[in-house]
Amino acid sequence: MVGFLGTFLIIATITTIAKSASITTFNKAFKPLYGDSNIVAYEDEGSVEIAMDESTSSGFHSKKMYNNGYFETSLKLPNSYTAGVVVTFYSSNNQKYPYRHDEIDLEFLGRPRGGRWSLQTNFYGNGHVERGREERYDLWFDPAEDFHRYAIRWGPDMITYYVDGIPIRHVTKVPSMRDEFPSKEMRLYGTIWNGSDWATNGGKYKMDMSYGPFVAKYSGFVMNGCAFNETGAARDCGEGGPEIRGLTREERVRMNGFRRKWMTYSYCYDKKRYPVALPECVFNSKELRHLHKIHPKTF
């Protein structure tokens, strides 16, 4: 097992180095959304810090909207007691389509005392927020200790979420999902906010501002998407365009290895919530066995 994990980490490092070509800066691709006084951009690094203190939370969004693409950031989370704190990198169009919005989420849920940050992935299509598709994972490193790369690859019929180049979740659209797969142009967002109601152990542990201000730092943005154009002109997918592709055999092996070790929740196996699994769910007995060990009542 140690050998496997070692190999895993070396491959992740090599991927990090190979990927640096298409990095853009915060100021080029993004602008503040709210809590401007708590947003500090470092132009020379292309990075940004967003903070939450007594006065405000904060967030930014991409200047452009995109139809599909590969979106990545390197992120370092606040390193203190952070129960209740939520840090995000996600895509949404809720401002443009308030009642039928699409969304693809990477959300970090703050850590309780002695615990760890949890990563949650989710997506919504066309305003169907009544059907969440959450998964949660522990990570094999402390995301508050250093920068790590997190990415979303979104195509017309697939979504892949990545941590340090390793796919951790791959969704393939199936026809019976109807409009519950994200299909309209979206912006990318980064935010930090108070999620005390639900974020840490379902809201059991609240945010404690005496450990604040909470600061998240984003850098290494890769915004390799098809920029949306209101005039309906041909898709502007930039140089070479985003690589919309499925998983290689090797990536699938690594993803499965990650999931049966680090996944802590998946809606696909939550029988109380979805007595009939949602149509895109692909049953994997090793994942089920792993989740059952963690929470036999739920899985």
Ligand X SMILES: *[C@@H]1O[C@H](CO)[C@@H](O)[C@H](O)[C@H]1NC(C)=O
Given 72, 107, 135, 287, the catalytic residue: 107
Of 130 and 197, which CB lies nearer to ligand X in the complex structure? 197
Cβ at position 108, least distance to ligand X in Å: 17
> Which residues fall within 8 angstroms of residue 118, CB to CB, at 6 or more apart?
108, 109, 111, 136, 137, 138, 200, 264
Q: Which region among 16-24, 101-109, 192-200, 265-273 touches ligand X (by CB under 6 A)?
A: 192-200
Rounded distance between C-alpha atoms, residue 106 and residue 150, angstroms = 8
Q: Does residue number 210 form part of the binding site for ligand X (CB under 6 A)?
A: no
Alpha-carbon distances of 88 from 61, 175, 207, rounded to whole Å: 11, 29, 16
Determine which residue in the list 88, 91, 196, 219 makes contact with ligand X, applying CB under 6 A: 196
Q: With respect to ligand X, which residue has the nearer C-beta, 38 or 266?
A: 38
34 counts as binding ligand X under rule CB under 6 A: no
C-beta of residue 90 within 8 angstroms of C-beta of residue 104: yes
The DSSP call for residue 111 is P
- Given 158, 174, 209, 227, the residue binding ligand X (CB under 6 A): 209
Is residue 56 part of the contact set for ligand X (CB under 6 A)? no
CB of 179 vs ligand X, minimal distance in Å = 31
Cis bond leading into 78, ω under 30°?
Answer: no
- Choice between 203 and 279, CB closer to ligand X: 203
Whichever of 201 and 248 has its CB closer to ligand X, that residue is 201
Q: Least CB distance from residue 207 to ligand X, whole Å? A: 5
* Residue 194 makes contact with ligand X by CB under 6 A: yes
Q: Which of 130, 197, 230, 250 binds ligand X (CB under 6 A)?
A: 197
Task: Show Cβ contacts of residue 282 under 8 Å, excluding neighbours closer than 6 positions.
Answer: 268
152, 188, 207, 255: which one binds ligand X (CB under 6 A): 207
Please name every residue paired with 211 in a beta bridge, in sequence order, or none if there are none.
none
Closest CB to ligand X among residues 209, 237: 209
The Cβ-side half-sphere exposure at 69, using a 13 Å CA radius, reads: 29
Instruction: In whole angstroms, give the CA distance from residue 215 to residue 49.
Output: 6
- Contacts with ligand X by CB under 6 A: the residue count is 5
Smallest separation, CB 67 to ligand X (Å): 35
Per CB under 6 A, the segment of 7-15, 71-79, 92-100, 194-202 that binds ligand X is 194-202
Of the pair 112, 241, the CB lying nearest ligand X is at 112
Q: How far is the CB of 255 from ligand X (least distance, A)?
A: 34
What contacts 240, CB < 8 A, 6 or more positions away? none
Is 103 an active-site residue?
yes
Alpha carbon 217 to chain centroid, angstroms: 15
Helices (H) and strands (E) in the chain — how many of each?
A: 4, 16
Query: 49, 72, 103, 185: which one is catalytic?
Result: 103
CA–CA dist 239, 269 (Å, integer): 40
From residue 220, how far is each of 26, 75, 294 by CA, in Å?
9, 8, 34
107 is catalytic: yes
Strand locations in 43-100 (E) = 47-52, 58-62, 66-76, 85-92
Annotated catalytic sites, by residue?
Answer: 103, 107
Which residues of this chain interact with ligand X, rule CB under 6 A?
194, 196-197, 207, 209
